[in-house]
Amino acid sequence: MRAIERSSNAVVLRKSEPEVTIFHTDLTIAGDIAAIAGIALALGLGLLIGVQRGWTLRREPAGSRFAGIRTFGLLGLAGGVAGALRSIEPGVAIILVAAAAMLVLMGYAQAAWRGGPVSGTASLAGLLTLGCGFLASSQHERLATIVAVIMTFVLALRSQLHGWIERLSEVEVRAIARFALISLAILPLLPDRAFGPYGAWNPQQLWMVVVLVSGFSFAGYMASKRLGASRGTLATAAAGAMVSSTAVTAALATRLRDPAENGPILMAGITVASVIMLARVLVLVGVLAPFALPALAVLVAPAMLVSALATVWLLRAAARLPSRSSQEVPVRNPFNLAPALGLMALVMVLSLASRWVLDRFGDAGLATILALSGMVDVDSAIITMGGLPKGVLEGPTAGLVLATPVMLNTLVKAGATISLAGRQRGSSAALSLIASVAASMLMLPAVL
């Protein structure tokens, strides 16, 4: 039996040897194919970047260009070959990358030595192309592709970016730096944990309030400045509503008092601001309190629809009247952090009050607190809701709680419109706001 077993084992061993050899051969072929595919991707990414660079420099005199499509393609290829050699001959890979990078730097130095115009863009693009090629053949194909495509896109926006820079004022440059400071430098450094009584204050979430308000303000300011009065009251009102729909409504209502103004177009601006506000509410709730979004959307969507239909009707009425208005809707200065910090302080107070009310009186007291705060600023109610502990409120209840300040804020704007514009015109302008609230109330049975 042992002899038979030995002989049978020998047969098995003899039969298994070719299988092992074939298996290793398959692995080798698969590895070669993967390496070739990575190198091919590296070459393709280099050619992609080279197309943009070659087209941009196509009118330059022969011999004055640092690199064209062929050079960038070869830089990507060099990076790809180095990436493929990394696991086989790391020393050779390092020498190849260093030599290619040295050639790029020598090209930059030669251009500077000639005394002509020197741009670091081409040299930096060459180094990044080399790096993308290395990543492409180092099992980081997706990252290499993303970096190369983004780099090509940024390079292709040269004229637009330069034109945008030329149109920036000193105030706007300071605003960009300030927003970068509060969002990219300060925010990540703040602790993301509860502090204070009832654990009501989270420093990172509280500072996010400043970032959100400043971001909305900055976007609204830039849109308003770029569109301007030439695009009409509607465009400016829509941009201003990104900052404060209440401020836009008050400004338009004040102008509506003047009989010389185009009443329907100003009323349409008020309804557009309402639509933008309601859409912004849904976006903020989706980001900060997503559990309340389904129920809130059921109540808010009808109000948006009514305001949109009112806008269409008013625009048709405005088309029959000559517009003599060229004023822009005033928008708050987005570079003043005082409103954002004030809102953060309000959120701190409301967060503490909401925790205390929840502890003492339950959901009904919380709804009252949020409703009263939302009459002045809807965002504070949403941010307060987003900061509550998970599971405190169910989705339908949370949606109802948030819908209350939204609708009350709309009614406040309707009252302000009547007060500022006068009874005759103000009542007509406020009618669409009141109708939007009524449409939302009709959907209450679907949520309850």
pLDDT in tens, 290-342: 877 888 888 888 999 999 999 899 888 877 765 444 444 444 455 567 656 76
15 has pLDDT over 50 = no
- The chain-wide mean pLDDT, for the chain, equals 75
Over residues 222-229, the mean pLDDT reads 60
pLDDT of residue 263: 78
Q: How many angstroms separate the CA atoms of 340 and 360, rounded?
A: 30
pLDDT in tens, 391-424: 666 667 777 777 877 887 788 788 878 888 887 8
201 in helix, strand or coil?
A: strand
Q: How many angstroms separate the CA atoms of 245 and 262, rounded?
A: 20
Model pTM score: 0.52
State the virtual CA torsion across 313, 266, 277, 184 in degrees, nearest 10. Answer: 140
pLDDT in tens, 94-103: 888 888 888 8
Q: How many angstroms separate the CA atoms of 137 and 37, rounded?
A: 8
Output the six-digit token pair for 297.
């959307």
Q: How many angstroms separate the CA atoms of 241 and 274, rounded?
A: 8
Could you give the percent of the chain with pLDDT greater than 70? 69
pLDDT in tens, 370-389: 665 555 566 666 766 666 66
pLDDT of residue 11: 43
Grade residue 203 by pLDDT with cuts at 50, 70 and 90. confident
59 alpha carbon, distance to own chain's centre: 37
